[in-house]
Structure 1
Amino acid sequence: MRSVFIGLDDAQIARLLAAGAFCDLADGTTLAVEDERLEKIYFICAGRVGVTIAGREVSHLERGNFVGEVAFLTEKPATATVIAGRSSSKGPSSISSSATKRKSRA
Structure 2
Amino acid sequence: MVIMVSDFFFPNMGGVESHLYCLSQCLIKRGHKVIIITHAYGKRAGVRYLSNGLKVYYVPTLVISSQATLPNLFGFFPLFRYIVLREEINIIHGHQVKLIY
* TM-score greater than 0.5 by the shorter chain: no
Structure whose CA Rg is larger: 1
Higher strand proportion, which one?
1
TM-score norm. by structure 1 comes to 0.30
TM-score of the superposed pair, with normalisation by structure 2: 0.31
